[in-house]
Structure 1
Amino acid sequence: MTEVRDEETVRQQRRPEDEPGTGVVTAFGRQLKLLRTRAGMERVEFGKRVGYSADSVASIEQGRRIPQPQFIEQADEVLGAGGVLTALKEEMAKAQYPAFFRDMARLEASAVGLCVYAAHAAPGLLQTEEYARAVFRMQRPLLEDDVIEQRLQARMTRQDIFTRRPAPLLSFIIEEVVLRKPIGGRASLRGQLEQTLLVGQNRNVEIQVMPTAREDHAGLGGPFTLIENSDGRRLAYTEVQDDSRLYNRPGKIRELEARYGILRSQALTPCESLAFVEEMLGET
């Protein structure tokens, strides 16, 4: 991660050169088209050999769609590219996330511990596909359908953290109001509550609900995530209006860790929380 300036924050800047239609994504598409053309393959034939439609291949070649790792590997093999395409696989993996989230996605994937306070929507790591798609569809300005599907797949891939070994320790504190918002409709909400209960059964996961009726509340400053790396390094992440920050200054980390500890004491216990979610599910 980039060193933190002024010992406080690293602001995650937007990198439009990595968005679909520009920069590295477009460069990959042009390289793919060049290799396919040199191999004497039409899009239809090439698409059949890699399991994609001709329209999907066109979208990738035109830089409108970010290719998945499996596609990159298959394309490199089919076109005899000798690693030219697979060399860009890591950059393509980064590009599937919005620019402001990329450093966090990398840290999350290798974390040994995460503490997540969610105040507006279900945490991305807990979201069902239906719920997540609804979240992306509600974004303004509107996202293109290809971008929605790309980000949806990226969000679902992040949930591999639950099956990773050794298992990281994961703690979630979720506002009650979040669990009552019918994002995507009542059926979507029901599925999200079921998912929350299912994930909460994992021994390395603790989910706590912060009741709306609480008079004392330490989380009025907004949502945040605490991260612990395998080397013992602790960081914190905040995000609002597509602007994010990573903190590594010890004083700031201690402040947020203390805040999270108070939130845990104010929220329902994990057992009470799962019972509460189950009761909400029965009302939905």
Structure 2
Amino acid sequence: MSEEEEPGWEVDPDDDWGLAVIATVGRQLRLRREARGMRVADFGKAAGYGEDMVYKIESGKRIPRPEYLDKADRILDAGGLLAAMKEDVEKVRYPKKVRALAEREAKAVEVQLYDPLNIHGLLQTSEYARALLLMRRPAYSNAEVERYLSARMARKSIFERDPAPEVSFVLEEWSLRRPLGGKEVLRRQLEHLLTAGELRSVELQVMPMDREEHAGSAGGIEVLKFADGSAVGRSPAVVNGRPVDEPRHLRILELRYGIIRAQALTPRESRSFIEHLLGAT
């Protein structure tokens, strides 16, 4: 599908850095095209895009796709200067809040995660993640679904770091049983959980539905710790879900997370539990 058929990504209107980057990229594309004496119509025809899309990208209203920059670099004989902008453009294509989260995760040495509603984003397969995004109401556009999906999958690079951070997940049993996206999607998701659980830096624990006490009833928890001893956390139950780094707030989050882990199945028990669910799916 061409970019004319599928509109380019839009920058978050409150993302000042992203708006500035795309405005700069668009201006460089326009200046290079004009320096070559090429009209918009001629460039669009050579690149395979409509004039309207070229105008939107050059005016900073659309985020160009990587292949657009590659084509522009070749057509305008830019010697790699335009293609080199793909790294910054790649960051801008992700929503501001997702980009900020990914940047924190990339620096963390220890991560503690509990999601009471769904399998956590860092553990989701692309099929499971897409199913969740398509269920959102009011509905995302197709372009928004692809944008959020790309951002979610890109965050998985946290597992590829060397050394990798220590990551702990607590999963709710019901999130492992609901066939969101269909039984085959769930089956592949459960298989992926077993694979992820084999990583030396990852611990998965399941919170069974039959527990009579649950310290996570107030909502999800996320705590990221860094090499310098600092930390940041968030939870809907603490300052309305805004990131916090004050010791008194972090103490509450770590206390709750520690109790949740104690109430959940052990990693070994959790693996057996997931294997049992997979066999029954």
Q: Where do 5+ consecutive residues of structure 1 fail to align?
A: 1-13, 48-53
Tell me the distance in 2 between the aligned counterparts of 1:28 and 1:138: 35
Question: Corresponding residue for 2:30?
Answer: 34
Question: Corresponding residue for 1:219?
Answer: 216
Tell me the distance in 2 between the aligned counterparts of 1:72 and 1:45: 11
Identify which of 251, 269, 274 aligns with 2:271: 274
Tell me the distance in 1 between the aligned counterparts of 2:133 and 2:21: 21
Question: Corresponding residue for 1:169?
Answer: 166
Identify which of 233, 237, 255 aligns with 1:236: 233
TM alignment of 1:42-191, pairs within 5 A: 42-46=43-47, 54=49, 58=53, 61=57, 66-67=63-64, 71=67, 74=70, 77-78=73-74, 79=76, 80=78, 83=81, 86=84, 89-90=87-88, 92-191=89-188
Report deviation, 1:153: 1.4
1:3-40 CA-to-partner distances (Å, cap 9, x unmatched) read: xxxxxxxxxxx952439xx9447625743651463243
Tell me the distance in 2 between the aligned counterparts of 1:148 and 1:273: 31
* Contact 1:65-1:146 at 8 Å conserved across structures: no
Matched, 1:198 2:195: yes
- Give the letter for the 1:222 counterpart: G
SS in 2 for 1:247: coil
- Give the letter for the 2:269 counterpart: E
With over 3 angstroms needed to count, the CA separation of the structure-2 counterparts of 1:135 and 1:35, relative to structure 1, is farther
* Contact 1:238-1:244 at 8 Å conserved across structures: yes
Using the aligned pairs only, state the percent identity. Answer: 39
| RMSD, matched Cα | 3.1
Tell me the distance in 2 between the aligned counterparts of 1:143 and 1:64: 19
Tell me the distance in 2 between the aligned counterparts of 1:127 and 1:195: 8
* Contact 2:94-2:148 at 8 Å conserved across structures: yes
Tell me the distance in 2 between the aligned counterparts of 1:239 and 1:32: 42
Question: Corresponding residue for 1:16?
Answer: 13
Aligned residues: 258
Tell me the distance in 1 between the aligned counterparts of 2:189 and 2:31: 43
Tell me the distance in 1 between the aligned counterparts of 2:134 and 2:127: 11
Please give the TM-score of this superposition, normalised by the length of structure 1: 0.79
SS in 2 for 1:219: coil
Q: Where do 5+ consecutive residues of structure 2 fail to align?
A: 1-10
Question: Corresponding residue for 1:264?
Answer: 261
SS in 2 for 1:112: strand
* Contact 1:197-1:274 at 8 Å conserved across structures: yes
Tell me the distance in 2 between the aligned counterparts of 1:67 and 1:228: 35
* Contact 2:29-2:82 at 8 Å conserved across structures: no
1:132-160 CA-to-partner distances (Å, cap 9, x unmatched) read: 11111111222111121122112111111
Tell me the distance in 1 between the aligned counterparts of 2:199 and 2:257: 21
SS in 1 for 2:205: strand
Q: Which has the higher contact order (CA 8 A, sep 6+)?
A: 1
SS in 1 for 2:140: coil
* Contact 2:69-2:82 at 8 Å conserved across structures: no
1:69-91 CA-to-partner distances (Å, cap 9, x unmatched) read: x558746743428857856843x
Q: Which has the larger radius of gyration?
A: 2
Report deviation, 1:265: 0.6
Report deviation, 1:201: 0.6
- Give the letter for the 1:183 counterpart: L
With over 3 angstroms needed to count, the CA separation of the structure-2 counterparts of 1:46 and 1:26, relative to structure 1, is same
Question: Corresponding residue for 2:245?
Answer: 248
* Contact 1:64-1:146 at 8 Å conserved across structures: no
